[in-house]
Every structure is written in structure tokens, then in C-alpha cells.
Structure 1
Amino acid sequence: MKKLMMATTQYGLTDIRAEEEFWDGIGLKVREAAERGASMIVFPEYMTAHLLSLEPSMLHDEACHYLDQLTEEYTRFFGELSAEWNIVIQAGTHICKVDDGEYANMAFLFFPDGRVETQSKVHLTPEEQIRWPLVAGDDLNVFETEWGKMAILTCYDIEFPELARAAALRGAELILCPSYTDSVYGYHRVRHCCQARSIENQLFVVLSGLVGSLSEDRPQVDTGYCQAGVFTPCDLPFAPDGILQIGEVNEDMTVLVEIDFHRLRENRERGSVAPFYDRRPDLYEHEHRKTLL
């Protein structure tokens, strides 16, 4: 199995003066990551909401309409960028219309050959349900790559162990977690759940997020807190704290690290513990049935 040079971003919310400045800034991050040898880069949840700073403050339904109008440009831009630099791009998430005409918070993964994988956020926060409002995804997409199977669990999704376990049972060995957390509380919920999901399922988890703040408040996205990183099981042959690589808190930066799937197989075969294999589903199902009585 191949090693994967992974780049994950702490994307800075800064004041921009034109839409071109937004796209050019992303293009620069992708180019720099590719030139440093990265084969994949992960951007944060709600990254395109940065463009709302160019417009007068909007209500959430107006913001959904505005962002959806950018979907064609978004997909064209990242598709061309992926091909140009021969790098897989997890382009954060983008608000767009789905088949029923409602809006979803959707993650996109662009491959250099033109392939695109998508994943709608499955678990919506109270704000996403009430203020936006958005519709939740009903399917988990576990997709094949040249490095193995992967899945995307967006921010709040990582806080539900059942979803990550479903991905692992379907063969995923890496979970991408684009996130947007605007407080220290929110960040640590997502961060610690990323590490818990990695330990429980003996797989890699990659976290990205928004950082910084805008000079003018926007009700959708105006400040972010994150320390992006790549996490592993807290067991041999990995570091005791389960951190493969991590960024500096709230700095606009890209974290670059090599992911070695052979080491993951070693952990699964010869680790001190094997929580992915030692689970007892019959007992859990029995206990679940007892709660329904």
C-alpha cells in the first residue's frame, strides 16, 4: 500500500476585497502543498462562506441562495486546480441545492482525473437545522482511492461514533474531517472526538478548520478557532499521544505529514490493544433491545 503525503489546512479568515482574491489565495495554498510533495489537501467546512464578507450582511436563507449561485464556479475551479497540480483536493464544504431543491452542507473531493466524490453532512447542529436551515444527508459515502478506502465526516459528524464505525466496517482506513468551530469549546469537542474515533476504529483521522476573524461580523461565518492535525491510535507503532502532526493554534498555515498505511496495519495486527476487533456487537445489540422494553 502506498504512503500518502497529506496536507491539511488552517484556513485564515481575513478581509478580502474581491472574489478573485479568495480563489487566488486557495490556489496558492494548493500550489505550495503540491510543490512540497503533497498528494492530497484538506480544506475546512464552510470555506466558501468566506465570500459572504464581500457582500452586505445577509439572513441565512439569503446566504444559502448566494452561495449556491457559486456552485458551478466552485466545482470548475477545484476540478481544474486538481488536474493542474495533480493533487486530490478535499475542497472543504459548500452550501448548495440538492435534488429536492433544499440546501445541504456538502463536502466535495476532487481527483486529478476529473472524478468527484461528495458527502452531505449527516448530523446537523441546532444552528444548521434552525437558522440556516439545511437538510441532512441520508447516506455515507465510503470511496476508493489509490491509498485505500476513505470517508468524509464533517465537523459535528465526527461526534457520533456510530457513523465512524460504519465507515470503518466498510473498510475505511482514513477519515477526513473538514470542520468549522468558532469557539474553544467547539474545537475541543471535535478534536477529542477525532482522536476517539481514531482509537476506537484503529484508523487515521485528518482534521482541518477555519481560523482567525473578519473585521466586520457576519452571522454565518466571522471567526474560527482550530489546530488542524492528523491523528492515530494511541498505541504502537505510533506516538503515545496519538498525534502524527499538528499545527500552531489559530495560525493561517498548512500542516504537511506522511501517512503510512503499513504502520496502521502493524497497529491492527500487533498493537497492545485491538478495540476495532475486540468489540462485542451481539452484547451491544442485546443491551439495546433491553432499552426498548
Structure 2
Amino acid sequence: MTKIKLALCQMNVIDDKSANIKKASSMIVDSADNDADFIVLPEMFNCPYSNDKFIEYGEEEQDSQTLNTISQLAKENDVYILAGSIPERDGGKLYNTSYLFDKDGTIIAKHRKMHLFDIDVKDKITFKESDVLTAGDEFTIADTDFGKIGMGICYDVRFVELARIMAEKGASILFYPGAFNQTTGPAHWELLFRSRALDNQVFCVGVAPALNMDASYHSYGHSIVTNPWGEVIAQADEKEKLIICEIDLSAIKKVREELPVLKNKRKDLYEVVQK
């Protein structure tokens, strides 16, 4: 199978876990009704994006209201679901973690955000995830019916080495649930997704929460799909929206034959190494 129908669920996240899970569930069902094969939720889709809420909303994987609901929906609708991310508690630590469910509702991969969002843009935005979150240290490449996919979260997309390693390990689609803000989003969101797709000649997908002006953190939205030529083939605005987008993985082979960037690397001079 080379053609995949993706569903990007750009949902409005509020300060109510049950309501967020209900909204995610509704968008998943709508996606399935539109014959989606692979459904993607935003970063922190069950939780407002703030350090105090990460602590309050944190769940353990083995006893997670959120994950149990997504698992059941994947099974009932016979679809893959990449459950954006949630605050995951484990051994006294808190992680920003993304889970991939197969069509049986089984967790087949999980990615803990590797690069924590610690920034200070003068007079615009300051945020320090490391005050409450612990960084992950695993590369996440999963086998699906459509081939291998790579998983990152938000700030991870800025690091070219991570994307290159996932692509070199055979990932044909790189997924980054993310929540860029009103400063970094307009400047870098589209540019980064086009660049990671172009750099590695893969598809690259970002799914964000919708803009909620009542929240303390204002998401940029603009969930996006970019292709191996570096083009945007689907993108939302800042409002809540369900994007259904079909991609054809055969485009990867075509682009790599026409413009053999990966083949023409000077491996005798440089390489990206996973430690």
C-alpha cells in the first residue's frame, strides 16, 4: 500500500481533561467516517500547555484514562492513531510522551520528547519545560502496514540530526505533534516542516492544538503536511479543524531518483551517528 489517508485533528484544548478526551474522540470518529487510515492528535491534546497543568494532568501509562480511550477507539474504528502527546508519569518523573496505537488498539511505539522546550525570546516568550519535564533519550521508529514511520514531538523538529537518523533507518513519514506559539509559529513552523521533508526526501506531518485565546499559552495551530519535494500539500489556519489528506509514498522513490541527495552524501567526509 503506497497511498495513505491521513487525518490531522487540530482540536481546541481546554482546562478540562474529560472534555478534551471527548473532543479528541469525536474528531477520531469523524476521521474514521472519512475513511482515514492514520489519525494524528496534537501535542498535549488532553492538557493545557503549561508546566503546572502538566503536573496536574499527568497519567501513568498502565492506568491512563486518556490512553485507554484512544486504544478502544483505534480498535473500534480499525485505524492507526498517533495520540499526539500527554504528560506521562513514570517512576517519579514526568515526560511529554507520544503513543502510537495500531488497528488492534495496541501501543506499538512511544516517544518521549527528546529536546525540551527551554527558550527565552526577549520581550516575547519565555518557557522552560525542564522545570517539570524529563527529556527522553530514545529514537522512535515504528513499523506499520504502510512501512516505517518516525516520531518526534514539537521542538524535536528543529534538530536536523534526529530527522536524518529516522530517515536513514527507513522512516518514510516523520510525525511531530507540536504546539508552536504566536512568536515561533509564524516565523518557523512551515519553514521547519518543509525543510525536514526536503532534507530527507520524506513526508513530514505536524499536528497542533487550535488557538485558544482563553489559555495562558497561545498555540499557532496551522497543522501541516509537507511532501518529499518540500511542498506544503495541506495546512490549516489557527482555528479548530479536521484535515483529511491523502499522500502517496511512491513520491519518495520518484524524488530520490530525480534528485539523489541522500545517495550523493559524502560519507567519506562526514556522517550523523546515533550513540
User: TM-score normalized by structure 2?
Assistant: 0.87
Query: Can you give the 5+ residue segments of structure 2 that lack an aligned partner in the other structure?
Result: 119-126
Q: Root-mean-square deviation (CA), in Å?
A: 2.3
Q: Percent identity between the aligned chains?
A: 24
How far is 1:190 from its partner? 3.3
1:214, distance to aligned residue in structure 2 (A):
4.6
- After superposition, the C-alpha distances for 1:89-142 in whole angstroms (9 at most, x for unaligned) are 1111111123x42111101111121321100011111134443x2111111011
Letter in 1 for 2:267: P
**Which residue in the other structure is 1:254 paired with?**
242
Letter in 2 for 1:206: V
**Which residue of the partner structure matches residue 102 of structure 1?**
93
- More helix by proportion, 1 or 2? 1
CA distance in 1, matches of 2:3, 2:177: 21
What aligned pairs does 1:1-293 form with structure 2 within 5 A after superposition? 1-13=1-13, 19-50=17-48, 60=51, 62-69=52-59, 72-98=64-90, 100-116=91-107, 117-126=109-118, 127-131=127-131, 133-215=132-214, 217-218=215-216, 222-234=217-229, 242-247=231-236, 249-269=237-257, 271=258, 273-284=259-270
Equivalent residues of 1:106, 1:119 under 8 A apart: yes
Shift of 1:184: 4.0
Residues in 2 aligned to 1:128 and 1:8: alpha-carbon distance in whole angstroms: 27
Aligned partner of 2:123 in structure 1 is none
CA distance in structure 2 between the aligned counterparts of 1:107 and 1:12, rounded to whole angstroms: 18
Q: Secondary structure of 2:12's partner?
A: strand
- Aligned-pair CA distance for 1:23: 2.2
Moved more, 101-110 or 260-269: 260-269
Q: Does structure 2 conserve the Cα–Cα contact (< 8 Å) formed by 1:268 and 1:274?
A: yes
SS of residue paired to 2:208 = strand
Q: Distance in 2 between matches of 1:187 and 1:281?
A: 35
Letter in 1 for 2:101: F
AA partner of residue 260 (structure 1): D
Please report the TM-score for the alignment, with normalisation by the length of structure 1.
0.82
Cα distance in 1 for partners of 2:158, 2:41 equals 19
Does structure 1 conserve the Cα–Cα contact (< 8 Å) formed by 2:206 and 2:223? yes
Partners of 2:81 and 2:128 in 1: how far apart?
A: 25
Task: Quote the Cα distance in structure 2 between the aligned partners of 1:266 and 1:114.
Answer: 33
Paired letter, 2:77 = W
The answer to whether the Cα contact below 8 Å between 2:148 and 2:172 also exists between their aligned partners in 1 is yes
Name the SS of the counterpart of 1:267 in structure 2. Answer: helix
> Secondary structure in 2 aligned to 1:162?
helix
How many residue pairs match? The answer is 262
Instruction: Report the 3-state secondary structure (helix = DSSP H, G, I; strand = E; otherwise coil) of the residue aligned with 1:223.
Output: coil
Larger Cα-atom Rg: 1
**What letter matches 1:256 in structure 2?**
I
